[in-house]
Amino acid sequence: MSYDLKAFYDSVDELTTRDRCLSVMYGRVPDSLGGGIVPLNVDASGNMLIGSDITLNVSEITPVNVVQPNPALLLASVNLYEVNGTTVSLGQKTMTASFPVVIASNQSAVPISATALPLPTGAATSALQTTGNTALTNIEGYLAPGQATMNGSVPVTIASNQSALAITAAALPLPTGAATSALQTTINTSIQSIVTELTHGQATMAASVPVTIASNQSALAVTGTFFQATQPVSGTVAATQSGTWVVTPESDVAPATQNVTTQDLATVTTVGANGQAIYTGTPTAGSAASFVVSTKTTISVQATGSWSGTLQLESSMDGGVTWSMNGGHQKGVAYNSSSFTANFECTTSVAGCTNFRVRALTAIPGTATITILESVDPVAIYLLNSPSILDGSGTSTKATVLPGSTAATTANTALVVTLSPNSALPIGSGTIGTVNQGLPNVTADAWPITRAGGVLNTNQVTIANTPTLIVAANANRKRLVLVNMGTTNVYFGGAAVSSATGQFLVGVAGYPLPVYYTGAVYGITASGSQVISYQEEAS
């Protein structure tokens, strides 16, 4: 409970005029506690009597000046007898039984005495100074007067402005690798050689030191015989042929062999002009032996090993981006082909090509080892235009040789030939004119020859992976043309044909294969089926 003097007295004058003596004071009880005015008494000993349930809130009392005519009364003391129900007594108490105080800001020194004071956490005591004492003992030992060994000395750093120190020693160690008289043998030898080579006077080339003429060297006078039998020449020199020239041909190149072990399933085939097959893409790994041949014109190709299937020769002129079939001429036989089903050896031209390869068109059981030999020597001569043959009479009359599919005209110059009496002409039909030379087995001057048959047979047959008859034998057959109608490879032969032994027809729609054979023709695929159309010309 608080008593507010301001609520009871209107002014200082009223306080001092109405109550001249402070022996009795009044306080106003707040309305929340019932209101009214109660006296505040002071006992004879000067103690202020305050109820146990009443709190004197001094902070809420506005200081006032009280006029007291009797100065003696102002010197009276007031004793605190009890605070907050706790009796106040003299003497030292525990912290919980003591009043909190604040040391004055200008408090003079306060003496402190204690038998023991607690140390901060981790403070050192004599029990924790063993290491320090040992270290101090070691330092004291290092700083003992007199010179000591390096191991017994304290490391120091010379001051940056240290004056010169006098050093005396019977011998100083050399840095690692420093030269001594024992290590100067090579240098001494080299210096002696230089001295010898720089001896005054002219010497032979072998005994002279090489020098380089300065880039701005003035002209040097040359005397004596200076034309050597052989003069060094630099720059471009024009040569005129005379005498005997030795020309060394460019050597052949034999790249490392490569193996083909599996079928190519990745190459993409498209059809170009006149049914030409064009291949692009990267072959399946292990399905092609590929070589770079940019500086060669001819290749000899050999396939060895134990394998079966079909290998095809191909070349590229654009660095291996696009490929086409490249026929080869088998050695020892009059046979040209771009595909083979057994070991072979052939030659082929790669003039104008950058790459050559042998690629597997079918499954390859086993391993086919491909060996090539590259050469600059031409393997054959290719005639791009019709050749002309002069008759040798000096009249410049030419006999023209045309392709077999071109019909002769009256404008073509004649070619006179003589039939060999050792070669009999076969009997046939057709007329070649009057022959005035006796022919074997010919009883009349009229000799009929028929080039093409008068009967045309066509059909389409589905080929599977077992031998299938395409066309029966026909003794009157003049020509048979087989055409692949799809993209599956087909192989042709007799009744026992297989994909490992048959004549290969590439799986390109519209690709033809002419056959000059009168027997029965069978076909087979490695897998799946394919429709084949044929055209038979017969008499």
The tokens describing 38, both together, are 């109660």
Residues 264 and 362 in one domain: yes
| Inside any domain, residue 474 | yes
Query: What CATH number corresponds to the domain at position 262?
Result: 2.60.120
Residues 370 and 266 in one domain: yes
Higher model confidence: residue 72 or residue 184? 184
| Inside any domain, residue 133 | no
Q: How far apart are alpha carbons 279 and 321 in whole angstroms?
A: 9
Residues 367 and 264 in one domain: yes
Residues 264 and 371 in one domain: yes
The tokens describing 247, both together, are 């020309």
| Residue 211: partners with Cβ closer than 8 Å, 6 or more residues away | none
Q: How far is CA 493 from CA 250, 307, 363, 498, 500, in A?
A: 43, 20, 19, 8, 11
DSSP 427: P
Of the candidates 362, 361, 282, 359, the residue with the CA atom closest to the CA atom of residue 322: 282
Query: What CATH number corresponds to the domain at position 488?
Result: 2.60.120.770
| Inside any domain, residue 430 | no
Higher model confidence: residue 387 or residue 506? 506
| Inside any domain, residue 290 | yes
Q: Give the chain's length.
A: 539
Beta strands 322-325 and 277-280, pairing class: antiparallel
Number of domains present in the structure of the chain: 3
Q: How far apart are alpha carbons 70 and 439 in whole angstroms?
A: 188
Grade residue 10 by pLDDT with cuts at 50, 70 and 90. Answer: low
Last residue of a domain, which of 49, 69, 87? 87
- Please give the full DSSP string across 42-108, using - where no structure is assigned: B-TTSPBP--TT----GGGSPP-----S-HHHHT------EETTEE--SS---GGGS------TTPP
| Inside any domain, residue 80 | yes
Residues 273 and 364 in one domain: yes
Grade residue 15 by pLDDT with cuts at 50, 70 and 90. Answer: very low
Q: Which of 100-104, 279-283, 474-478 bottoms out in mean pLDDT, i.e. has the lowest?
A: 100-104
Higher model confidence: residue 395 or residue 517? 517
Residues 263 and 366 in one domain: yes
pTM recorded for the entire structure = 0.33
Higher model confidence: residue 500 or residue 73? 500
pLDDT at 230 over 70: no
Last residue of a domain, which of 23, 55, 87? 87
For the chain, the first-to-last Cα distance in angstroms comes to 148
Q: Collapsing DSSP states into helix, strand and coil, what is residue 152?
A: helix
Higher model confidence: residue 427 or residue 280? 280
Task: Give residue 408's pLDDT.
Answer: 75
| Inside any domain, residue 221 | no
Kindly report, residue by residue over 338-378, the tens digit of the pLDDT.
999 999 999 988 888 999 999 999 999 999 999 998 887 76
Task: Give residue 271's pLDDT.
Answer: 93
Measured at the CA of 394, the angle between CA 390 and CA 397, to 5 degrees, comes to: 40
Q: How far apart are alpha carbons 463 and 525 in whole angstroms?
A: 7
pLDDT at 74 over 50: no
16 lies in which domain range? 5-87
Q: Which residue's entry shows tokens 């005054």?
A: 200
Last residue of a domain, which of 314, 341, 375? 375
Of the candidates 21, 22, 27, the residue with the CA atom closest to the CA atom of residue 9: 27
| Inside any domain, residue 102 | no
Q: How far apart are alpha carbons 21 and 168 in whole angstroms?
A: 105
The rounded Cα 322 to chain-centroid distance in angstroms is 26
% of residues, the chain, pLDDT over 90: 29
| Inside any domain, residue 415 | no
The tokens describing 304, both together, are 């060895």
